[in-house]
């Protein structure tokens, strides 16, 4: 899946390059990625701080940096930024209309053996609940670079959910545009909406679904907030069946956004592959978690067959 260090290496490379171009970029980390960011620290003296194990204060400090006109980046493990320091994001950044970039590591259950203390699958819901925020979820190095460059001076709080795994697709840098989803395949019967590394499983399921009579539109959303409503509506108007695959809980996830985005389109069947409303207490590898939770080629096919086989649209013969 692209190797676990590919994304983090791109993160370090992008910060180094942007930091050399822009003297206003300042990076605060909570004792993580310290060694991989040394090139940035060397090239941008006085603009790299491994502050310590005090995440709420790091968030408040970053807002203070933004107050002076600098562009702060905060980087540490996802729950320590999004959950532990939520009020700092709300009050010190959003309420005061200050912008900054929060780059999390440990997407969803990436830290698969570390238990829920290091899991984070409510980050979309939490950030979306605050004004002046936006969320990107790049699962390839090119996306990380393009989306960071496009957002870090936006004046908003940008959450960059950085996964450890990639989806394996190559996008041209120039084709990656914040806020704009990507349609990878053209089908008439079923819309698969995948985010993050799960695009890999959606693509893997395509042929088998085709053999079962489902020609699929596969949509990939690297921008979670704001969501590309028009792309979703255009596809679903055509297919009338949509399955959303996301490493997030139902509450506040992409699935509920798709429900909202497709309001008013008649005879649409929705299905969702998401995390359960429960802590993941099991251990094992990321791949093992995926398999167990249904995030797999097989899980997607099974969900489509279970949710849509007897759909009224099919019975009525309106699938064309």
Binding site residues, other proteins, CB under 8 A: 26, 46-47, 49, 51-52, 54, 56-57, 60-70, 72, 87-88, 91-92, 95-97
- CB nearer to other proteins: give 41 or 245: 41
8 Å CB contact between 17 and 90: no
CB of 55 to other proteins, least distance (A): 9
Q: Which tokens belong to 156?
A: 């908003």
How are strands ordered across the β-sheet holding 241-249? Answer: 182-185, 216-220, 190-194, 241-249, 269-275
CB of 130 to other proteins, least distance (A): 14
Q: Looking at the chain, how many residues does it have?
A: 320
Q: Which is nearer to other proteins, 95 or 178 (CB)?
A: 95
- The nearest distance, CB 62 to other proteins, in angstroms, is 6
Q: Which is nearer to other proteins, 18 or 66 (CB)?
A: 66
CB of residue 214 vs other proteins: minimum separation in angstroms? 50
CA angle 5, 251, 189 (to 5 degrees): 80
Residue 93 CB, nearest distance to other proteins (Å)? 10
| Residue among 72 and 181 whose Cβ is closer to other proteins | 72
Closer of 53 and 114 to other proteins (Cβ): 53
Nearer of residues 50 and 154 to other proteins, judged by Cβ: 50
Pick between residue 51 and residue 116 the one whose CB is nearest to other proteins: 51
Least distance in angstroms from the C-beta of 74 to other proteins: 10
Shortest CB 196 distance to other proteins, Å: 31
């Amino acid at each position: 899946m692209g190797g676990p260090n590919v994304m983090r290496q791109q993160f370090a490379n992008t910060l180094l390059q942007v930091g050399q171009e822009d003297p206003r970029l300042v990076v605060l980390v909570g004792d993580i990625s310290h060694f991989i960011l040394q090139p940035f620290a060397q090239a941008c003296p006085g603009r790299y701080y491994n502050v310590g194990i005090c995440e709420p204060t790091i968030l408040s400090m970053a807002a203070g940096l933004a107050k002076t006109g600098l562009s702060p980046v905060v980087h540490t493990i996802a729950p320590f930024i999004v959950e532990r320091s939520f009020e700092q994001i709300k009050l010190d950044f959003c309420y005061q209309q200050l912008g900054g970039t929060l780059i999390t590591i440990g997407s969803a259950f990436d830290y698969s053996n570390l238990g829920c203390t290091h899991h984070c699958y409510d980050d979309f819901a939490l950030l979306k609940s605050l004004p002046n925020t936006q969320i990107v979820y790049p699962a390839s190095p090119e996306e990380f670079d393009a989306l960071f460059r496009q957002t870090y001076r936006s004046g908003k709080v940008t959450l960059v959910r950085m996964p450890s795994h990639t989806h394996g697709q190559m996008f041209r840098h120039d084709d990656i545009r914040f806020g704009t989803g990507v349609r990878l395949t053209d089908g008439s019967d079923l819309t698969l909406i995948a985010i993050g590394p799960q695009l890999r499983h959606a693509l893997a399921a395509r042929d088998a679904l085709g053999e079962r009579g489902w020609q699929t539109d596969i949509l990939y959303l690297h921008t979670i907030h704001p969501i590309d409503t028009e792309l979703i509506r255009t596809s679903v108007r055509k297919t009338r069946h949509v399955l959303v695959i996301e490493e997030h809980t139902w509450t506040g996830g992409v699935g509920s956004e798709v429900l909202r985005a497709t309001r008013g389109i008649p005879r649409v069947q929705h299905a969702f592959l998401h995390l359960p409303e429960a802590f993941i207490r099991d251990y094992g590898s990321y791949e093992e978690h995926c398999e167990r939770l249904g995030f797999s080629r097989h899980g997607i096919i099974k969900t489509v067959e279970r949710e849509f086989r007897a759909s009224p649209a099919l019975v009525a013969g309106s699938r064309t």
